[in-house]
């Protein structure tokens, strides 16, 4: 099933503003000669060509390029311009993000098209903010990119207007979702811990269990650390120096940790030190920081409510989507890429360095995507 993304106007604003800053920086570096040269090479007949139709709604090239450029700026600010060519296994990272953008554009049009059903309109106050944000975005885009993609303030305004309607329809459609979440359901605890592993990685990169002899040595180490933990006034420092885990402290709720670890953690009171807890990963020693982390629990409640809203809206959206025929102009869409001049120049100048950077940033991206899923 196609991934559904909640597109919220104010949530996207941080992306838009970040992109505007990035574009402003590029604009300062562009010379009048470069802008003139770019203008001469631009095929402005592209600007009015339809990239995708969603029912009766048309998304033209210039509108699609706002989505493309803002999302591009966001990702490149974190991972650099070389991330787009990273192979995800038959699909590049760039192709994956392009599909997400197509989904985003489609969902925005479908949802905003139901504004009348919920008596949703753009107010004068909304319109003033839309024009303000669009003006700031437009002024932050380099003259070269405005010319190259046919971006105008009017197109930027329509972009913000659609997403504002999306936000309002979403809020109206989910207003009756149950927002009562008990403390028990959302309860978050915070513990510090030490881990002595009973697993290792073999030459082929596979995780394998210790031998019985190695496991006995690990248990002896854990027992020594437990004795030290009972004597120390600073468990965190002891754990930081001795744990074989990447983290010392965890805040979590029900169902987020392995059962053995979680069962002990939820039975402890602040200041308690556990006995040795065995899991598939190894031997753990826990110290309870908080048996009810109030701030984290409040955040979890909000997360649960958002999840309920997303689920309800997902179900509603799936009744709308089949009523809209989506036609993609592949002739135009396939020509749109995330390639940037900066990435091209860097690749030509330092091929080996670029390859190494791509490996690093792509690994981080994959980890972030996996965690988000």
Is pLDDT above 50 for 48? yes
Is pLDDT above 90 for 108? yes
**Percent of the chain residues past pLDDT 90, beyond the cut:** 71
Determine the average pLDDT of the residues in 238-258: 97
Is pLDDT above 60 for 11? no
207 phi/psi in degrees, rounded to 5 = -85, 125
Q: Return the pLDDT at 372.
A: 37
Is pLDDT above 80 for 341? no
The C-alpha angle 194, 290, 308, rounded to 5 degrees, equals 105
Structural domains in the chain, sorted by start: 9-178+302-372 (no CATH), 189-291 (3.10.50.40)
Q: Enumerate residues 6+ apart whose C-beta is below 8 A from 144.
A: 26, 27, 30, 34, 35, 38, 39
Q: Enumerate residues 6+ apart whose C-beta is below 8 A from 99.
A: none
Of the candidates 154, 156, 97, the one whose C-alpha atom is nearest the C-alpha of residue 336 is: 97
Structure tokens at 313: 């809206």
Is pLDDT above 90 for 318? yes
Tens-place pLDDT, residues 304-317: 999 999 999 999 99
Long-range contacts of 145-149 (CB under 8 A, 24+ apart): 145/23, 145/26, 145/69, 147/35, 147/38, 147/39, 147/42, 148/38, 148/42, 149/47, 149/61, 149/62, 149/65, 149/66, 149/69
Q: Return the pLDDT at 45.
A: 84
Tens-place pLDDT, residues 128-156: 999 999 999 999 888 988 999 999 999 99
Of the candidates 80, 136, 159, the one whose C-alpha atom is nearest the C-alpha of residue 338 is: 80
Is pLDDT above 50 for 358? no
Taking the whole predicted model, whether its pTM rises above 0.95 is answered as no
């Amino acid at each position: 099933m196609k991934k559904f993304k909640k597109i919220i106007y104010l949530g996207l604003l941080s992306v838009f503003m970040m992109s505007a800053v990035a574009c402003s920086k590029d604009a300062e570096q562009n010379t009048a000669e470069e802008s003139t040269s770019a203008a001469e090479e631009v095929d402005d007949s592209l600007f009015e060509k339809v990239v995708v139709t969603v029912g009766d709604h048309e998304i033209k090239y210039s509108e699609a390029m706002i989505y493309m450029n803002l999302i591009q700026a966001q990702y490149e600010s974190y991972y650099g311009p070389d991330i787009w060519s990273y192979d995800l296994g038959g699909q590049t990272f760039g192709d994956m993000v392009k599909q997400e953008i197509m989904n985003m554009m489609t969902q925005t049009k479908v949802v905003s098209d139901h504004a009348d059903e919920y008596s949703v309109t753009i107010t004068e106050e909304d319109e003033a903010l839309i024009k303000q944000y669009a003006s700031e975005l437009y002024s932050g885009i380099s003259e070269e990119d405005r010319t190259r993609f046919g971006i105008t303030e009017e197109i930027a305004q329509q972009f913000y207007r659609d997403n504002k309607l999306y936000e309002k329809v979403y809020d109206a459609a989910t207003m009756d979702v149950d927002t009562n979440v008990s403390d028990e359901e959302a309860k978050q605890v915070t513990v510090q811990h030490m881990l002595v592993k009973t697993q290792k990685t073999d030459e082929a990169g596979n995780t394998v269990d210790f031998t019985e002899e190695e496991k006995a040595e690990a248990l002896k180490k854990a027992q020594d650390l437990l004795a030290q933990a009972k004597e120390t006034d600073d468990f965190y420092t002891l754990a930081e120096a001795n744990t074989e885990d990447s983290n010392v402290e965890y805040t979590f709720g029900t169902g987020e940790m392995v059962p053995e670890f979680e069962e002990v953690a939820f039975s402890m009171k602040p200041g308690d030190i556990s006995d040795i807890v065995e899991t598939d990963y190894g031997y753990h020693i826990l110290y309870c920081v908080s048996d009810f982390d109030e701030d984290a629990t409040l955040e979890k409640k909000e997360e649960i409510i958002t999840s309920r809203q997303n689920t309800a809206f997902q179900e509603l959206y799936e009744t709308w989507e089949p009523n809209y025929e989506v036609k993609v102009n592949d002739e135009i869409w396939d020509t749109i890429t995330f390639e940037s001049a900066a990435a091209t120049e860097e690749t030509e100048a330092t091929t080996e360095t670029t390859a190494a950077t791509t490996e690093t940033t792509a690994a981080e991206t994959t980890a972030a995507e996996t965690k988000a899923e």
